[in-house]
Structure 1
Amino acid sequence: MHPLIALVTLLTVLLLMAMMGLVGRARGRHGVKAPSTTGPEGFERTFRVQMNTQESALMFLPALWTAAAFSLPWLAACFGGVWLLARVAYAVTYLDPARSRAIPFVLASLALLALVVQGLWGVAWTLLLR
């Protein structure tokens, strides 16, 4: 594995851990006992941003690894870095009801799409060369 891909992967794990910590803190602040997933708006926003991040990471990580394995790892790492920064911005804007999260969402989605296209291109090219 390329070191930049490993770095983006580990930073994604740290993002997921941070989201988990935010939900734990929000549970305490809003008095929402586990396993409840509903409560005051502040808690629900925090919980949803964690779930949205996990859902996105589930698609992102295999796309990142495939793109890196079958194409240019440095390019995959760049797209991965964009995804990561956009997801952090998405989380920050999601937690603030007054802010729009559209731009970070679109950036993260485009970075994910770029990784999928890069991975598909690399896999197709590899299959054609066989």
Structure 2
Amino acid sequence: MPFVELVSVTAVLQFFFFGAMTGRARRDSGLKAPAMTGHDGFERMYRVQMNTMEMLVALLAGLLIAGKYWPEWLVGGLGVVYVVGRFIYWRAYVAQPSTRTLGFMLSMVPTLALLLLALVGIIQTWL
């Protein structure tokens, strides 16, 4: 399961990276804490960070549970698609929020697939 664990850690590190980018956006905008609005660039980066945190909870549960029941290449591969999708989402959302759909789908679909695989794996143990 090292591949699944590596992808899990990579996804968390990606979240920290987005946090650093949010801090940079705050600094560059001159927006003083605790203000959360008032600069479009900061607001976009902050939404990327928060949306990633929301998705990360489901992703990690899916990765770690599905990883118990399904082949490592499948579970880890879906996790890699998520991480790539998050980077696409970040670039698109910061540039033009209306173009974020591809990145969003490349992170949402693998997350849902992992959760379904986890659920099926759990159910199979009861049969």
Answer whether contact 1:83 1:112 (CA < 8 A) is retained: yes
Partner of residue 125, structure 1: 124
Deviation by residue 1:71-123 (Cα, 9 ceiling, x = unmatched): 22221101111111101110111000276111111121111111011111111
> C-alpha separation between the residues in 2 aligned to 1:98 and 1:9?
26
Quote the RMSD (CA, aligned, Å): 1.3
Q: What percentage of residue pairs aligned between the two structures are identical?
A: 36
Number of corresponding residues? 127
SS at match of 1:11: helix
Equivalent AA in structure 1 for residue 77 of structure 2: C
Answer whether contact 2:31 2:38 (CA < 8 A) is retained: yes
- Mapped pair 1:56 → 2:55: yes
Equivalent AA in structure 2 for residue 109 of structure 1: M
Equivalent AA in structure 1 for residue 40 of structure 2: E
SS at match of 2:31: coil
Which stretches of structure 1, 4 residues or longer, exceed 3 Å deviation after superposition? none
Partner of residue 80, structure 1: 79
TM-score normalised according to structure 2 size = 0.94
TM-score normalised according to structure 1 size = 0.92
Answer whether contact 1:79 1:115 (CA < 8 A) is retained: yes
